[in-house]
């Protein structure tokens, strides 16, 4: 078993909802953090979102101002994947939830990162073993490092072992997550949806089915789960935060691996086809004002 290096340089590939949050966490914890996104607009948006998020944490007294400005100083946006991953001790892939995209990112990253780098993926449910098959000779260093949205605030990171992932890699992945102030669980068996997404998907899917059947309004379905079942946020509102396009990809993949109970609804397909992806596109199941407050619920 090869030893993994102590981590000083982190590369985050994909700077959307999750990648920007993961980069923020890594930079705040003291890691030199390089970020790349295939979309240059998204890359500059990510920096603005990290600045805004750190600003909020400062105003709530959760991060001090000097620490926030040091974090921003450790962040570098890179124009290419190679530039971001070169010499990295840890690569965290947080791009689109598609197997081929993740395989190609980790394979390209492995060729320029440190020879002992941890190669992590933030996939919500794809097989770590299948992703690792694209990096022959390094499958022992590939691991699931599954953050939750918003990454800066959610307490858990789920560490997922692929069939070939070494014990040293699992230990290093846990240490890294804990160095960001997170708690960890380990999904020992590479199984679709791991310990979390399998349940989360079923709950959100059932809420979408109820909405489409007209059982209640979106606002009442969300309120019912918040007030009656003690959910911190309603599943439909959470869907708007997490992105319906990503959820559709997750469900399509989980229908393949786990069966019909994960089949996406027609309403979800329509939302994505209409570009109503949630907060990231300004409109999803709910519409939002310029401050991000819900102004109305719309049926998909
Ligand atoms: N949104 C969530 O709540 C959530 C939670 C946990 C895990 N995840 C997982 O995290 C990953 C990212 O999800 P997200 O919500 O941040 O999606 P997102 O759509 O907000 O961001 C994905 C980003 O990846 C970029 N990208 C796509 N292909 C790329 C490539 N080849 N190279 C570099 N960048 C590329 C896109 O331009 C986009 O900015 C997915 O695997 C998703 O399943 C999402």
Q: Following DSSP, what letter does each residue of the chain receive, concatenated?
A: -PPPPPP-EEEEE--SHHHHHHHHHHHHTT-EEEEE-S-HHHHHHHHHHHHHHHHHHHHTTSS-HHHHHHHHHTEEE-SSHHHHHTT-SEEEE-S-S-HHHHHHHHHHHHHHS-TT-EEEE--SSS-HHHHHTTSTT-GGGEEEEE--SSTTT--EEEEEE-TT--HHHHHHHHHHHHHTT-EEEEE-S--TTTTTHHHHHHHHHHHHHHHHHTSS-HHHHHHIIIIIH--SS-HHHHHHHH-HHHHHHHHHHHHHHH-GGGPPPHHHHHHHHTT--BGGGTBSSEEE-TTS-EEEE---
Give the integer Cα–Cα distance in Å for 270 and 281.
Answer: 15
Which residues form the pocket of ligand 1, taking CB atoms under 6 Å from any ligand atom? 13-19, 36-39, 42, 94-97, 101, 105, 122-124, 147-149, 242-243, 246, 250, 280
Span from the CA of 15 to the centroid of ligand 1 (angstroms): 7
Nearest-10 Cα torsion for 47, 50, 55, 58: -140
Q: What's the average pLDDT block by block, 10 residues per block, for the chain (300 residues)?
A: 73 98 98 98 97 96 96 98 98 98 98 97 98 97 98 97 98 97 97 97 98 96 98 97 98 98 98 97 92 75
**pLDDT value at position 2?**
45
Pocket test for ligand 1, best of 12, 96, 147, 252 (most atoms within 8 A of CB): 96
**pLDDT value at position 1?**
40
pTM check: above 0.75: yes
**pLDDT value at position 3?**
52
Span from the CA of 170 to the centroid of ligand 1 (angstroms): 23
């Amino acid at each position: 078993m090869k030893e993994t290096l102590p981590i000083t340089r982190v590369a985050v590939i994909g700077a959307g909802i999750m990648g920007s949050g993961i980069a923020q966490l890594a930079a705040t914890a003291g890691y030199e953090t390089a970020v790349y996104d295939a979309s240059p607009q998204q890359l500059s948006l990510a920096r603005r979102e990290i600045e805004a998020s750190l600003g909020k944490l400062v105003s709530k007294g959760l991060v001090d101002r000097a620490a926030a400005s040091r974090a921003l100083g450790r962040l570098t946006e890179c124009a290419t994947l190679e530039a971001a991953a070169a010499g990295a001790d840890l690569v965290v892939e947080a791009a689109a939830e598609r197997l081929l995209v993740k395989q190609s990112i980790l394979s390209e990253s492995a060729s320029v990162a440190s020879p002992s780098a941890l190669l992590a993926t933030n996939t919500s449910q794809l097989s770590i073993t299948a992703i690792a098959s694209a990096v022959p000779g390094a499958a022992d260093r590939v691991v699931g490092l599954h953050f939750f949205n918003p990454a800066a605030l959610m307490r858990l990171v789920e560490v997922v072992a692929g069939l070939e992932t070494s014990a040293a890699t699992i230990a290093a992945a846990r240490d890294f997550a804990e160095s960001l102030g997170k708690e960890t669980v380990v999904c020992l068996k590479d199984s679709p949806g791991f310990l979390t997404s399998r349940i989360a998907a079923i709950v959100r899917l059932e809420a979408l089915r109820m909405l489409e059947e007209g059982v209640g309004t979106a606002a009442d379905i969300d309120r019912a789960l918040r007030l009656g079942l003690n959910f911190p946020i309603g599943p439909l509102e959470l869907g708007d935060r997490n992105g319906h396009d990503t959820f559709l990809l997750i469900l399509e993949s989980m229908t393949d691996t786990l069966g019909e109970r994960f089949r996406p609804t027609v309403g979800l397909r329509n939302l994505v086809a209409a570009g109503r992806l949630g907060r990231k596109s300004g409109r999803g199941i709910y519409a939002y004002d310029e401050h991000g407050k819900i102004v109305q619920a719309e049926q998909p």
